C-alpha cells in the first residue's frame, strides 16, 4: 500500500465542508461539531494548497476499518503481532513533489483553544534514523514562522536519539510527515521496544507499505504522505506551550528543541490531517495501543478479558475500565495490578464483571454502587510514577487507585443485573 489517506477514505463516509476555514479556532469548532457523528470531514484551511481531513478515527469502527479488523480482540492481536514481528516496507521511487515556498505556512497549522501559544501542527510524525536506530513518533509543533517550529519531545525514543546527537555536538536530522493512512498513525502512536521502527510496524499492519527515501535526509517515508518536511531537531531550545493536551488541560510552558526547516515538500494530490487535541480522535489514537498492552497483561492473570476501555474523558490515557470473567476471589485485584504494570501512566482502574458494559458509564456506576465496598475492594498505590500530563501529580509522582466492582463468586439474585426478556 502507498500509505495514503485516500486509500482509507475509499472505505468510509466523507462529508465535504464548504468554504475556507480560518486557522484561528474555526477549524477546531468544525472538528468538534462533527466528531462522533460518523463521517470523516474534508475541508480547506486558509493559506493551504491542499485539502485537510479530520475525525479519521474518532470512532472505534473507523479504527477497525483502518486496521482491517472486526473487533477489539482482533485489533489488539494484530497490533501486538506487528510490534513483536514488524516487516520491512518496500522501497520505491519518489513521487513528484512540489516545494512549498511558504514553508510551514502552507501546512495546516491551527490554533485550537484560546490560551494556546499559537499555531500548531497536531498530526506530525517525526521520522529519525541515527546510530543505526530508526524511530517514528507523533509530536506537536508550535509554528513560529515558515522555517522555524518548536517541538514537544517527551522523554521516549525520539528524545534518546536527540540526546545521542546532541552529546556529539550535532543536530538530529528529521523527516516530518503529515497526512498518511491512519494505520500509520496508530503505529507511530505505539510504543514498541527501543530499536523497533514504527514504520516497519505500520508495514505489518497494512500488509505491505511502500516507502521512498526523503529528498534530503534519505529517511524512509510513506509514499502517500501529503507533506514531507526535511529539517533538523536542533540543539537550540525555545519556549513551547501552553497547549491543550489530550486529557483536556493546558500543558505548561517548557523549553523544547527548535525545529529548523530546510525544505517543505507537498504532494498536492494528497490530503493533510488535523487532529483536535482533547478530542475523540486524539484519545483513541493515543490510547488504543495501550489498550492492547493492558488486554494482553490482564489476559495472563484472569480467565478472560471481555473489554478494555481507556476512557475519552481521561484522554484515552489515565482511566481504564476492564470487564472480565472472574473465576477466583482476587482476580479483579490481580487485573488491577496487571493493568498498572502494562500502562504506567494509568491512574485509576475499575474492574467489572462481563455483564457490565464498560462503554456505558451508567452500568459502570451501577456496578460500583452495588458491588463495591471501599474497605475490602479498594486498591491504593502511593508515591508511584504516573503521567506528567496529570496536573495534580507531583513531578509525575502520583497515587493510583483500583476499584474491584465485581460481585462475589457465590453471589445471589441480589447481585444480578436485571433485564426485561
- Residue carrying C-alpha cell 528543541: 257
Backbone angles phi, psi at 301, to 5 degrees: -120, -5
Distance CA 271, CA 266 (A): 10
Q: Are 30 and 276 in contact (CB under 8 A)?
A: no
* Grid cell locating 291: 489498550
Per the annotation, the verdict on 245 as an active-site residue is yes
Radius of gyration of the chain, Cα coordinates, nearest whole angstrom:
22
Q: Check if the beta carbon of residue 235 is closer than 8 Å to that of residue 123.
A: no
User: One of 51, 245, 353, 404 is an active-site residue; which one?
Assistant: 245
Give the residue numbers marked as catalytic: 245
Amino acid at each position: 500500500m502507498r500509505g495514503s489517506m485516500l486509500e482509507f477514505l475509499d472505505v468510509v463516509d466523507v462529508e465535504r465542508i464548504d468554504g475556507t476555514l480560518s486557522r484561528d479556532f474555526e477549524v477546531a469548532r468544525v472538528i468538534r461539531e462533527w466528531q462522533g457523528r460518523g463521517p470523516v470531514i474534508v475541508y480547506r484551511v486558509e493559506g493551504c494548497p491542499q485539502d485537510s481531513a479530520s475525525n479519521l478515527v474518532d470512532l472505534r469502527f473507523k479504527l477497525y476499518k483502518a486496521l482491517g479488523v472486526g473487533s477489539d480482540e482482533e485489533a489488539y492481536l494484530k497490533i501486538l503481532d506487528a510490534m513483536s514481528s514488524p516487516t520491512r516496507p518496500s522501497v520505491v521511487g519518489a513521487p513528484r513533489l512540489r516545494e512549498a515556498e511558504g514553508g510551514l505556512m502552507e501546512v495546516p497549522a491551527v490554533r485550537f483553544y484560546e490560551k494556546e501559544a499559537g499555531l500548531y501542527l497536531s498530526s506530525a510524525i517525526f521520522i529519525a534514523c541515527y546510530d543505526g536506530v530508526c524511530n517514528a513518533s507523533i509530536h506537536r509543533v508550535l509554528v513560529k514562522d515558515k522555517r522555524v517550529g518548536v517541538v514537544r519531545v517527551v522523554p521516549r525514543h525520539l528524545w534518546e536519539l536527540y540526546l545521542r546527537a546532541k552529546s556529539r555536538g550535532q543536530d538530529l536530522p528529521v523527516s516530518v510527515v503529515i497526512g498518511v493512512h491512519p494505520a500509520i498513525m496508530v503505529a507511530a502512536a505505539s510504543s514498541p521496544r527501543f530499536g523497533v521502527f514504527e514504520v516497519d510496524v505500520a508495514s505489518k499492519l497494512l500488509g505491505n507499505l511502500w516507502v521512498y527515501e526523503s529528498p534530503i535526509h534519505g529517511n524512509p517515508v510513506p509514499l502517500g504522505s501529503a507533506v514531507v518536511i526535511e529539517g533538523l531537531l536542533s540543539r537550540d531550545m525555545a519556549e513551547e506551550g501552553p497547549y491543550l493536551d489530550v486529557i483536556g488541560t493546558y500543558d505548561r510552558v517548557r523549553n523544547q528543541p527548535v525545529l529548523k526547516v530546510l525544505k517543505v515538500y507537498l504532494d498536492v494530490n494528497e490530503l493533510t490531517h488535523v487532529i483536535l487535541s482533547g478530542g475523540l480522535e486524539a484519545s483513541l489514537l493515543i490510547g488504543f495501543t495501550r489498550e492492547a498492552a493492558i488486554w494482553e497483561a490482564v489476559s495472563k492473570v484472569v480467565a478472560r478479558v471481555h473489554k478494555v476501555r481507556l476512557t475519552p474523558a481521561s484522554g484515552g490515557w489515565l482511566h481504564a475500565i476492564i470487564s472480565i470473567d472472574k473465576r477466583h476471589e482476587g482476580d479483579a485485584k490481580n487485573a488491577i495490578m496487571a493493568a498498572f504494570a502494562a500502562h504506567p501512566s494509568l491512574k485509576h482502574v475499575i474492574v467489572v464483571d462481563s455483564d457490565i458494559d464498560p462503554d456505558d458509564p451508567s452500568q459502570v456506576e451501577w456496578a460500583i454502587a452495588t458491588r463495591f465496598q471501599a474497605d475490602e475492594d479498594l486498591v491504593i498505590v502511593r508515591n508511584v510514577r504516573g503521567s506528567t500530563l496529570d496536573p495534580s501529580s507531583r513531578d509525575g509522582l502520583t497515587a493510583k487507585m483500583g476499584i474491584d466492582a465485581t460481585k462475589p463468586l457465590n453471589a445471589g439474585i441480589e447481585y444480578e443485573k436485571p433485564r426485561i426478556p
